[in-house]
Amino acid sequence: MSSNRAKDAEFSRRSIVAGVAGAALWTGLSGRLVQLQLLKGEEYAELATENRIRLDPAPARRGVIYDRFGQRLASNKRNFYVLVVPEETSNLEETLRLLARYIPISNLKHRRILAQARQQAKFVPIPVADDLSWQDFSRINVHAPEFKGVYAEVGELRSYPMGTAFSHTIGYVARPNREELSGLIEQEIARLQLGPDDVAGRRRITSRMQRIYRHPDMRLGRQGIEQDSEIYLRGTPGFQRIAVNASGRIVDRLPSDDVAPKDGGDIVLSFDAEIQKYAISRFGEESGSAVVMDIESGELLAMVSTPAFNPNDFVSGISQAKYNDLLGNKKSPLYHKAYDGLYPPGSTFKMTVAAAALESKVATPRDTVTCRGKTRFGGRDFHCWKRGGHGTMNMKSAIQHSCDVYFYEIARRIGVQGIADMAHQMGLGTVYDLGMTGGSAGVVPDPAWKQKALREQWYEGETLNYGIGQGYLTTSPLQLAVMTARIARENAAPAPKVIIGGATAPPSGAPPYVPLNQEIAEHLRAGMYAVTSEPGGTALRSGDVGNGQRLAGKTGTAQVRRISTAERATGVIKNDKLPWELRDHGLFVSYAPADNPKYVCVVVVDHGGGSSAAYPIARDIMTETLKRDPMSREVFKVSSPIAQSAPSSPASGAI
């Protein structure tokens, strides 16, 4: 009996312990369940989501660049590309070797991908190939199941529909190089004010920026408007949520509005693409430049530099052989001759000298100088281009016949400083900011300039050369267009411009514009009209621009070599007997219609042998411009531009 009672007591104690233990266990399990489902449910849901959803970089749509009538000068096309994620492959090197069976992967590209994989996080995708043909892209998609960690995608890549026509002005885009990427990362770290001790934050930003800017669609502007308006055109990169299966294959693209990229802004330029293309074709095989400008607004309708390069060659990386060909081409296709090019203006500068003479009252339009082919000064002869001389010349006839001896004499009377001051008033010696990279100020020399640049004093004989646009004086074709516009009309625009829609045009950088005295300008215009339309004019055959309209202009020949006394004695060697690079440059500045100036056209033919190579081209370009009359037509409009301040961090906080 007592034995049974003891057993019952023992069982009761064990039941109590077991019950307490069970209750404690169930309480713990219930508490943990509450914690997992209620308190930390969201956190673990996010972790689970990260296992099946990833954030892929998504570059913004780059803004389109249009001409004044809506023709696309820089746009975007489909980009078929292939990525590899190193950590998802069983063997990256073997994967690349197998991929090379279906798409072109050079040995150099193979080595670079392996090197990049060693230098960055294994989860960061690496571009294998982009700008693929549809055939190559389809081939990879067919064989996609064979490759783990390889993704064939479709994006957008920059395209230049008009090829070489606007390459110097618009520029091009290219993949960010290491220095550019480092600079972008440092800018973002500075913007977020991450100190050197915030190692985790800096690492996170570096990883994010690398993922975005190494994306196959990502390009940065190089040269021209593409570079100068880079932030505006690029927009703000972001991310796309991607649903993947257990093997990492994409199964869906999910809503991503909160982290989506923001498109870049579009830009409208002042150019008329048809005039630009016509001008290029008119040059043929010649090397040179042309500028067509509306006088009243300053809008550039064409700015040609030929020959040129094809910006499409740079988008996915130009070959070294092709780049070397461009560098080695003696006609300098990489050089923006119209904006960066500097030339002695030659006789096109004579109107500026004439204006300085009238302004300083050292000569009147009726004063004459007798030209016998040369004049003596400082113990040396200064020659006229016409060996036998022009006879008696006044201001109008001296411009008409381009008499050097006349301008030697009035330059001597004016003095160097008076000529320099008028050159500045005419718009020379200034870099005009057109919203693109480049631009040259040239040289408007005076004694202070020479002392600073060469540490030498100014000699009076140098003033005579100054009077015919030679010596130290250099100008760009764009500056000559500004000079010509200021002669043509009192209300000429103070500076040229290119950006007329979308983005905000930059300040021109031009000094205050002081219009030329119109009585003086009328005397210059009379001389320029005589050049093209009166007997003896140096460009008599260029005056007719159709529809009963006349063109007024001035020829110029800029020497690129020194002619010795011995050569003058035996006869100056003709340009066509010289090597191309030693021939004179040919220049022509003009405006039309002569009786109601509206447009300016300037042409420079590099080593063309003289002005006779330039004025027929200018006449034909002006004829085409007047026929199209672009300023009489409505300009293409783009939608309201995005904010032009620097964009925020790419999808800040998304990762």
The predicted-structure confidence for 194-231, as pLDDT tens digits, reads as follows 888 898 899 888 888 888 888 888 899 999 999 999 99
Distance CA 546, CA 541 (A): 13
Q: Smallest Cα–Cα separation from 172: which of 181, 163, 183?
A: 163
Structure-token match 């290029």, residue found: 280
**402: alpha, beta or left, given left = phi > 0 and alpha = psi -120 to 50?**
left
Confidence band for 151, pLDDT divided at 50, 70 and 90 = confident
DSSP reduced 3-state for 129: strand
Lowest mean per-residue pLDDT among 141-155, 545-559, 585-599:
141-155
Distance CA 596, CA 489 (A): 9
pLDDT score, position 6? 58
What is the enclosing helix (H) or strand (E) of 524? helix 518-533
Whether 165 has a pLDDT exceeding 60, the answer reads yes
Distance CA 543, CA 532 (A): 5
% of the chain beyond a pLDDT of 90? 61
What is the enclosing helix (H) or strand (E) of 202? helix 199-213
pLDDT score, position 256? 82
Distance CA 294, CA 481 (A): 10
Number of H helices, E strands in the chain: 23, 20
Q: How many other C-beta atoms lie within 10 A of the C-beta of residue 210?
A: 20
Cα end-to-end span (Å), the chain: 75
Whether 3 has a pLDDT exceeding 90, the answer reads no
Q: Smallest Cα–Cα separation from 153: which of 99, 105, 84?
A: 84
Whether 407 has a pLDDT exceeding 80, the answer reads yes
User: Which stretches within 415-517 are classed as H helix?
Assistant: 416-425, 447-454, 460-466, 477-488
DSSP reduced 3-state for 29: helix
Amino acid of residue 153:
E
User: Which stretches within 368-517 are classed as H helix?
Assistant: 395-401, 404-414, 416-425, 447-454, 460-466, 477-488
Contacts of 439 (CB under 8 A, 6+ apart): 339, 340, 431, 432, 433, 476, 478
Amino acid of residue 73:
L
Contacts of 101 (CB under 8 A, 6+ apart): none
Q: How many other C-beta atoms lie within 10 A of the C-beta of residue 427?
A: 26
> What residues pair up with 397 in beta bridges, in sequence order?
none
- For the CA atoms of 272, 277, 280, 281, the dihedral, rounded to the nearest 10 degrees, stands at -140
Q: CB-based burial of residue 291 (10 Å sphere; 0-12 exposed, 13-18 middle, 19+ buried)?
A: buried
pLDDT score, position 56? 80
More confident site: 464 or 78: 464
Distance CA 382, CA 570 (A): 17
pLDDT score, position 651? 42
pLDDT digit string, tens, across residues 458-489: 999 999 999 999 999 999 999 999 999 999 99
Q: Is the CB of residue 128 less than 8 Å from the CB of residue 84?
A: yes
pLDDT digit string, tens, across residues 418-445: 999 999 999 999 999 999 999 999 999 9
Structure-token match 């479709």, residue found: 154
Amino acid of residue 339:
Y
pLDDT score, position 10? 60
Mean pLDDT over each residue of the chain, to the nearest integer: 88
Whether 648 has a pLDDT exceeding 60, the answer reads no
Distance CA 131, CA 100 (A): 16
- How would you label 130-143 residue by residue, b for 16+ Cβ within 10 Å and e otherwise? bbbeeebbebbeee
Q: Is the CB of residue 176 less than 8 Å from the CB of residue 185?
A: no
% of the chain beyond a pLDDT of 70? 89
Mean pLDDT value across residues 393-416 = 98
* Phi and psi angles of residue 311, each rounded to the nearest 5 degrees, phi first: -65, -20
Mean pLDDT value across residues 259-276 = 95
Helix axes 350-360, 404-414, angle to 10 degrees: 40
Confidence band for 122, pLDDT divided at 50, 70 and 90 = confident
- pTM for this one? 0.85
Distance CA 573, CA 442 (A): 29
Whether 601 has a pLDDT exceeding 50, the answer reads yes
Which tokens hold the place of 262? 């923001």
Lowest mean per-residue pLDDT among 40-49, 105-114, 407-416:
40-49
Confidence band for 68, pLDDT divided at 50, 70 and 90 = very high
Distance CA 606, CA 453 (A): 27
The sign of the dihedral angle between the CA atoms of 526, 531, 534, 535 is positive
**143: alpha, beta or left, given left = phi > 0 and alpha = psi -120 to 50?**
alpha
Strand 72-84, strand 126-129: pairing: antiparallel
Distance CA 507, CA 498 (A): 12
pLDDT score, position 250? 65
Whether 649 has a pLDDT exceeding 50, the answer reads no
Q: Which domains does the chain have, with CATH numbers?
A: 53-176+214-269 (3.90.1310.10), 181-206 (no CATH), 273-309+333-632 (3.40.710.10)
Whether 646 has a pLDDT exceeding 60, the answer reads no
Q: Is the CB of residue 616 less than 8 Å from the CB of residue 596?
A: no
Q: Smallest Cα–Cα separation from 351: which of 266, 187, 453, 475?
A: 475
